[in-house]
Amino acid sequence: MILDMLRQLLPEVEVDPRLVLALLSSSAAAILVLKWMGQRRMQKKLEEARRRRDLGLGQMEKAVQQFKQQNPGIQASHILSLPLVELTEKLKEGSLSPESVLYTYMDKVSSTGKELSVICLTFLLYSLPEVILGHLSTCGFVQLLSRLEQEDSVMVKVLKRQGAIPFVLTNVPQSLFNYDCSNSIFGRTVNPLNHQKSPGGSSGGEGALIAGGGSVLGFGTDIGGSIRLPSSFCGLCGLKPTVRYNTVSPITREDFFVTGAVGPMARDVDSLALCMRALLCDDMFRLDPTVPPLPFNEEVYSSSAPLRIGYYDTDGYFLLPPCMRRAVHETKEILQKAGHTLVPFAPPRPDYVMNELFVKGLFADGGSTLLGMFAGDAVDPGLEPQVNCYRIPTLVKKMLALTVRPLVSPIFLSQCWLAPRWPQLTFQGFVSMGSWWSLQHND
């Protein structure tokens, strides 16, 4: 076939079939060699990143052992049991030294980090997944292993000025657009409560580390649940505050239409409040002009006046498991017994918000920006189905959208709740995949 094409293009030239075969063979060989060389370079980067992580953990262990020998009376179990508020008070009054607290948590990290596979980097200097000057911030992409951050993020700058000591960077799923926590560089993070389960994502490494006792406070980023899901999966408290996007380095240099928020994760609500008191300060307002200059309102937070609280146990869009509805109703009863007024309400137009604003905002370019990050990179196995959906040609997406869209109507969803559990799960999985196709269709 190729020989006939060459004869049509060059009718006056005698084409030697052996020459054509040799050219094709050499071209195919060259492509294979280039592909092999690219894979080899990628593998070397992976090995170097893991070696750097293991080296950091080894240095941490040596530093901890040296500190233990010089300070044999440290009560590590007591320090690890203290909530953040009480720990902070003891540090202020001097009954605990900063060194004893730091090395106690470093010791815990060296064991917990290996067990749960949560650590990406150690700094040896509380637990931050944002940019640290001179270190990597890969978001699980191999291609970003060669990019060192030249400046601390606003979040890190503010926390350092408040006395925080960054000492570890925790694992995330590749691209941060996943509810698991795995990438081809540092592997899969497991849930400390059950190693057969996921800690959630995208801030899964942070959630696993805190729940595993290796940190008392950490930070995650959240667009569609990346703080809230790991907090739920790991039994923690998490807060997605009002949007603060410029405080961290984005995956790419383009801004998303749907912006992300940075928020704290801890074991109790008081720790989150203490953290927000520290963050809502003049340094934050000065360094990030997108943050409204509103300091923490202690009067409102400490008030015991009865509140009027709205609640709902379903938004009419997502299928919720019975345990989530039960949690909402149990919380409602507790709040009512405490004297608060609980008012049921229905979120307005959730299908429009999700379909037209949220998902189309995230994928306004059909996913091309995100796909560009995967070009020439090793795609984590857990992300392959998702990435393959992004790669579906536009015409095929439109045809699939026409097929799937009638099946995601609210009436059909409500009927699904009355069905036995196994078809419910099957339908939920089908709708989840179908929604990705239909919702990326921007007509």
Q: Kindly report, residue by residue over 373-398, the tens digit of the pLDDT.
A: 888 788 998 888 888 888 888 888 88
pLDDT for residue 126 is more than 50: no
Is residue 27's pLDDT more than 90? no
State phi, psi for 110 to the nearest 5 degrees: -60, -30
Give the model's pLDDT for residue 421: 34
Please give the Cα distance from 339 to 29 (Å, whole number): 76
Number of H helices, E strands in the chain: 19, 9
C-alpha 63/C-alpha 57 separation (Å) is: 10
Q: How confident is the model at residue 156 (pLDDT cuts 50, 70, 90)?
A: confident
- Determine contact, residues 295/281, Cβ cutoff 8 Å: yes
Say if residue 367's pLDDT is above 70: yes
Look at 219 and 429; give whichever has higher pLDDT: 219
Q: How confident is the model at residue 131 (pLDDT cuts 50, 70, 90)?
A: very low
Let me know: does 311 contact 186? Beta carbons within 8 Å: no
pLDDT tens-digit map of 226-250? 999 999 999 999 999 876 645 555 4
Domains defined along the chain, listed by start: 57-303 (3.90.1300.10), 316-443 (no CATH)
Instruction: Point out the least confidently predicted range of 75-89, 227-241, 363-377.
Output: 363-377
Q: Residue 370: helix, strand or coil by DSSP? A: helix
Residue at token pair 């907090």: 231
Q: Are the beta carbons of 116 and 190 closer than 8 angstroms? A: yes
d(CA 438, CA 23) in angstroms, rounded, equals 44
Q: CA nearest 385: which of 149, 242, 186, 180?
A: 180
pLDDT confidence of residue 246: 54
Quote the tokens at residue 330. Answer: 């149990």
